[in-house]
Structure 1
Amino acid sequence: MKFALRYLLFVLPTFALVGCGGSSSSPVSNPPTRNTIASLQHITTVSSTVDPTNGDQNPYAIAFAPTSFTGDGNPAHVQPGDLIVSNFSNASGVNGAGTTVEAIRNGKPVTVYNEMNAPTASGGTVSTAGPVAIAFAPNGNMWIANYGLSGTGNDGNVQIVTPKGIVNQTFTDPRVVAGWGQAFNGGYGGKLAFFTVNVNAGTVVRINISIVNGKPSFSFDQITPDLGHSGNNASNIVGPQGMVHTADDTLYVADGATNSIIAIPNSTTTGMTTGRVVYQGSPLNQPAGMTLNPLNGDLIVANQKDNNLVELTPSGQVVAVKPVDLTPVNPITGAGSALFGVVATTDSNGNLVVYFTNDNQNTVEKLSQ
């Protein structure tokens, strides 16, 4: 496919509606379209995502920095509310060789982090590549899932990076290599945890955070068996990827290998589980990124195999399908696949707005009314 407490200072709730129930392969329903992607008619280009310093391209992760931390005003640092995008490939188009993270400001990409020789909090530097997914802690720290420079995932990791671009932690535990997704639990039940994906194994892993003598301590729990994956390198790997955590502690996982959405209840404390199939089959078509509709709690999923966005209720009802890139996708090679990351928010009038990365154009696009 073209495809501390400096670590965590305090907890904000996850704003979402509770999801429950489940079904599969139900037809598109016809509810009122207000506040869904069906009501959005305009696609505009927000910005190029090509890194201005080294030409990195192929945007994957997209996320908004929280507004809950204090920015320092330095344009080279992540600031509250920034729209953040990562580049998976280098200027030559080598998948997994990208190293840069951009803040999209005033229609342009601004480099806020480079994974090559990044400074560490303990002194020295660390290098990695292939940032796939990003989730934020309330203090502005980025949790980045990296697939790795080799393109096999074996040298991937999860990093915690401050808004100033300092690496606080690099996790290389075998359970969290081959990073392909990232989500925060919102501090559910007073417990802090991030979720990541080892796509080479098709598994979801929880990184638990506790405070010991005023310092963060981390532990790892694999919470799913292989949910389904295929491929073996950065150009063809497919598996569990997009993740959304909701206020009832359900973790939703999109799996492109099985064309399914899986719900994992009690995700902050659960042991090994296969979860519950919320939906499987068409119109899902190799789902990748996933986000939450902030107005109704629906799941909005980005398809790689047809460049459609699909909106579903947490109970498995298809609400809408919206084509956002008309490039034909080769069903064998994946050439023409545009979509990877997606994030939803509201505009100043309270209307739904969806931002997504377009790998065909190396841009961030906006779907709005």
Structure 2
Amino acid sequence: MFWNHRAALVVVTALLATSACGGNNSVPPAGSAGNSMSQLLNRPGEQPSDVKPANVDTTSILKRLKKSVVIGSTVDPTNGDMGPTSINIAGTTLGKLKKGQLVVCNYADSSGTAGNGTTTEILGPGANTQPVTFVADARIKGCDGDALSSGNFMYAAGHTSGLLSAFTNKGKFYKSYGPPLQAPSSDVDASNPGLYSAEYMFTTDSKTGSIVSFSINNYGNPRPTQVVTGFDVNNGSGWNVLGPSGIQYSKKLDALYVVDGVDDTIVQITHASNLLVKDEITILPGGTTFKCKHKSVTCANLIYHGSPLNGPVAMTILPNGNLIVANTIGGNKLVEVAANGQVLDTRTIDKSSIPHIFGLRAIGSSDSNAALYLTDTKTNKLYLWKQ
């Protein structure tokens, strides 16, 4: 647990500043724990030897995934929104969501115009299920993130609206968060079971090149704070937006993982629960080196840089701690990277110059039962790849 003296001072200050504004989303307490790793410098295409975990599993899961199952169409049944992106899985049965069901964002409207989608769908977990609208709201326009809290509240990132909007587990609007967010591009809930522990929401922004954090329960810092800055962005539009995205959280390590499609990097942020002050970490130009205000508290590591990464946007953590990333340039290719930066496998889904894979979510408890959900904007379907 990271409820230390430094955290207490920051949070007390934040609570005093925001007490006049009311409370926040009351959900079951959750916190984090992990081990720090030192900042390091890296040459493109090389990985740091001094941050290799002690027991890295270099088994390729991607090689094992031979069977593809159609879970269902992601086209919204009410307004025809399409273009599926982010995938999240309900960890419990609360409200309209049952444990194991999936929530998918639609980034495009019924005409296929990217950035105009305003819906999220409930699907699965079984094959050939029909989508059910969970939320339809203009505040999530350009939906490209749909993180679920421990209480099944959904935090939807509206890339076009510029808002991160919270909805109850029944799909009712709860609250929106704006500045410092401008173009949220992905989000993740960082929760761990633990008494008096904060449950943080981390959101990437493809316009400011930052990560914004705030607590959604009664502990931690409730004020949206830009805790990481400096990721490179391309100021693109539609399906061609690149910058920090695909954010994932490792409970085991209390670490964030982020891809940047401009620099073709995978970056790890250590001790995510200690990201409490503005611009705690700065990603320096080029995306491979970092400046950290408190290196012993939280910092960044370069996991990988360069080919075969090519405009990555989506990412997921496998049960063994390794990563699968989806490219959006040079064909729709998946890249599997071990926690020590070793490339384990690649798989080309199609060679189209149009990007299609914007949502990935791994499931399972071990190498033997690991599987992968992915969305495809070419077919507007959600798939499960199994062993």
TM-score w.r.t. structure 1 length? 0.80
Q: 1:276 to 1:13 in 2, by over 3 A?
A: closer
* Distance in 2 of aligned mates of 1:136 and 1:339: 21
Pairing 1:130–2:156 present: no
Q: Partner of 1:71 in structure 2?
A: 94
Aligned 1:143-222 pairs, distance under 5 A: 143-148=155-160, 155-173=161-179, 175-187=180-192, 190-209=197-216, 211=218, 218-222=222-226
Note if contact 1:65-1:82 (Cα within 8 Å) is conserved in structure 2: yes
Aligned 1:188-267 pairs, distance under 5 A: 190-209=197-216, 211=218, 218-246=222-250, 247-267=252-272
Pairing 1:272–2:281 present: yes
Q: Which runs of 5+ in 2 are unaligned?
A: 1-22, 48-55, 284-299
Aligned 1:42-121 pairs, distance under 5 A: 42-67=67-92, 70-72=93-95, 77-105=96-124, 106-116=128-138
Q: Which runs of 5+ in 1 are unaligned?
A: 117-126, 149-154, 330-334
Note if contact 2:204-2:244 (Cα within 8 Å) is conserved in structure 1: yes
Q: Tell me by how many angstroms 1:12 deviates.
A: 7.2
Task: State percent identity of aligned pairs.
Answer: 28
Aligned 1:266-345 pairs, distance under 5 A: 266-270=271-275, 271-274=280-283, 275-294=300-319, 296-305=320-329, 306-323=331-348, 325-329=349-353, 335=354, 337-345=355-363
SS in 2 for 1:38: helix
CA offset digits 1:50-75 (Å, max 9, x no partner): 111111100011111112xx435xxx
SS in 1 for 2:240: coil
* Distance in 1 of aligned mates of 2:369 and 2:254: 26
Q: 1:264 to 1:6 in 2, by over 3 A?
A: closer
Q: Partner of 2:370 in structure 1?
A: 352
SS in 2 for 1:96: strand
Q: Tell me by how many angstroms 1:352 deviates.
A: 1.2
Q: Tell me by how many angstroms 1:17 deviates.
A: 11
CA offset digits 1:220-268 (Å, max 9, x no partner): 2212222111024334321010111112222111111110001111222
> Higher mean Cα deviation, 239-248 or 183-192?
183-192
Note if contact 2:107-2:143 (Cα within 8 Å) is conserved in structure 1: yes
- What is the alpha-carbon root mean square deviation over aligned residues? 2.9
Q: Which amino acid aligns with 2:106?
A: N
Q: Partner of 1:124 in structure 2?
A: none
SS in 2 for 1:268: helix
Count how many residue pairs are aligned between Structure 1 and Structure 2: 328
Q: 1:145 to 1:19 in 2, by over 3 A?
A: farther
CA offset digits 1:86-132 (Å, max 9, x no partner): 1111101111111111111342211111114xxxxxxxxxx441110
Q: Partner of 1:121 in structure 2?
A: none
Q: Which amino acid aligns with 2:267?
A: I
Pick the structure with more helix per residue: 2
* Distance in 2 of aligned mates of 1:166 and 1:96: 22
Q: 1:17 to 1:328 in 2, by over 3 A?
A: farther
Note if contact 1:223-1:272 (Cα within 8 Å) is conserved in structure 2: yes
Q: Partner of 2:154 in structure 1?
A: 142
Q: Partner of 2:16 in structure 1?
A: none
> Higher mean Cα deviation, 301-310 or 280-289?
301-310
Pairing 1:25–2:45 present: yes
* Distance in 1 of aligned mates of 2:91 and 2:361: 13
